[in-house]
Structure 1
Amino acid sequence: MNKIINFSIDDCIEIFRDITINNYNSLFESDYFSFFKELHDKYDAKISLYSFVEYKEFNIKNTTDKFKKEFVNNSDWLKIGFHGFNENSRYNDKENIKKDYKLFIKYVKRFAGNLNIIDNFVRLHYFSGNLENILKIKKIGIKGLLTADDDRDNYYLKNNENIFLNKHNIYKDIKNEIFFIKTNLRIEKIENINETLKTIDINNNIIMFTHEQYLNDKNIRDKIIDIYEYSKETHKPDFINFVEDEFKDIKLDKIKKFIDCYIPITTCNFRCPYCYITQNNRWNDALPEFKYSAQYVRKALSKERLGGTCLLNMCGGGETLLPPYIIELLKELLEEGHYIWVITNGSLNKRFEEISKFPKNLLYRLAFKFSFHYLELKRLNKLEDYVKNIKLMQDSGASFSIEITPYDELIEYIDEIKEFSLKNFGALPHITVAREDNTDNKKILTKLSKQEYNKVWSQFNSKMFSFKLSTFLVKRKEYCYAGKWSYILDIGKGVLRQCYSNNLQQNIFENMKPIKIKSVGRKCLEPHCYNSHAFLTWGDIPRLKAPYYYEMRNRIQSDEKEWLNPYMKEFCSHKLKENNNKFNF
Structure 2
Amino acid sequence: MPRAVSLVSLADTVSEKSYRFSIDDNIRFFRDLALSRPASIFDNAYMALLYRLHERYETRFQLNVYYESERFTLAQMPDVYRSEWLANAGWLRLSFHARADRPADPYQSAGYAQVRGDCEAVHAELRRFAGEALMSGFTTLHFVTATREGCRALADCGYRGLIALCRTYDGAPRLSYYLDAEATQFLDQNGLARDPETGMIFVRNDLVLNALPAEEIRPRLDARLSSGRRADFLEVMIHEQYFYPDYSRCLPDFAARMETAILWLRENGYRSVFLDEIL
* Corresponding position: 1:228 with 2:262: yes
Matching residue of 1:240? 275
Give the number of equivalent residue pairs: 243
DSSP-derived class of the 1:5 partner: strand
CA distance in 2, matches of 1:11, 1:62: 17
Secondary structure in structure 1 of the residue aligned to 2:146: coil
Deviation at 1:29, TM superposition (A): 0.7
Note the 1:363-512 alignment, pairs <5 A: none
What residue is the counterpart of 1:8 in the other structure? 22
Q: Matched residues in 1 for 2:115 and 2:274: separation? A: 25
Alignment equivalent of 1:187, drawn from 191, 209, 221: 209
- Distance in structure 2 (CA, Å) of the matches to 1:162 and 1:182: 9
| RMSD after superposition | 1.9
8 Å CA contact 1:4–1:239 kept in 2: the answer is: no
Q: Which residue of 2 aligns with 1:133?
A: 150
Match of 1:54 in 2: 68
User: In 2, are the aligned partners of 1:149 and 1:183 still within 8 Å (CA)?
Assistant: yes
Q: Give the AA of the match of 2:143.
A: Y
Do structure 1's residue 177 and structure 2's residue 199 form an aligned pair?
A: yes
1:197, distance to aligned residue in structure 2 (A):
4.7
1:506-585 equivalent positions in 2, closer than 5 A: none
* Residue from 159, 163, 167 that aligns with 2:189: 167
Gaps of 5+ in 1: 245-585
AA at the equivalent of 2:197? K
For residues 21 and 93 of structure 1, the distance between their equivalents in structure 2, rounded to whole angstroms, comes to 33
Shift of 1:242: 6.0
Distance verdict in 2 for CA 1:243–1:130, change over 3 Å? farther
Equivalent residue of 2:25, what SS? strand
Q: Distance in 2 between matches of 1:149 and 1:215?
A: 25
Distance change >3 Å, CA 17–CA 47, structure 1 → 2: same
SS in 2 for 1:189: coil
1:212-262 superposed Cα distances (whole Å, 9 cap, x missing partner)? 111243412101101111221410112336642xxxxxxxxxxxxxxxxxx
Q: 1:158 to 1:195 in 2, by over 3 A?
A: closer
CA–CA separation in structure 1 for the residues paired with 2:38 and 2:192: 40
How far the C-alpha of 1:122 sits from its partner, in A, is 0.7
Q: Which SS does the other structure have where 1:177 is aligned?
A: coil
1:102-117 mapped onto 2 (5 Å cutoff)? 102-112=120-130, 114-117=131-134
Question: Secondary structure of 1:227's partner?
Answer: helix
- State yes or no: 1:211 paired with 2:239: yes
Q: Is the aligned partner of 1:154 residue 2:172?
A: no
Structure 2 length-normalised TM: 0.81
Separation (CA, whole Å) in 1 of partners of 2:210 and 2:149: 32
Quote the Cα distance in structure 1 between the aligned partners of 2:141 and 2:174.
Answer: 14
Instruction: Tell me the distance in 2 between the aligned counterparts of 1:149 and 1:15.
Output: 29
- The CA distance in 2 between the partners of 1:28 and 1:127, in whole Å, is 29
Partner SS state of residue 225, structure 2? coil
> Which residues in structure 2 correspond to 1:261-410 (within 5 Å)?
none
Alpha carbons 1:149, 1:186 under 8 Å: kept? no
For residues 170 and 116 of structure 1, do their structure 2 counterparts lie closer, same or farther at Cα, with a shift above 3 Å needed?
same
Letter in 2 for 1:170: L
Question: Which of the pair has more CA radius of gyration?
Answer: 1
Q: Percent of counterpart pairs with the same letter?
A: 22
- 1:60 Cα offset (Å): 0.9
Q: Does 1:70 align with 2:70?
A: no
Tell which has more relative contact order, 1 or 2 (C-alpha 8 A, sep 6+): 2
Of 29, 34, 39, which aligns to 1:25?
39
The one-letter amino acid of 1:35's match is L
Give, in whole Å, the separation in 2 of the partners of 1:197 and 1:120. 26
Task: Give CA-to-partner distance per residue, 1:40-70, whole Å, 9 cap, x none.
Answer: 1112111111111112332111112221111
Partners of 1:55 and 1:166 in 2: CA distance? 33
Q: 1:155 to 1:243 in 2, by over 3 A?
A: farther
> Which residue of the other structure, out of 85, 98, 110, is the alignment partner of 2:99?
85
CA distance in 1, matches of 2:277, 2:85: 24
1:140: how far off? 2.2
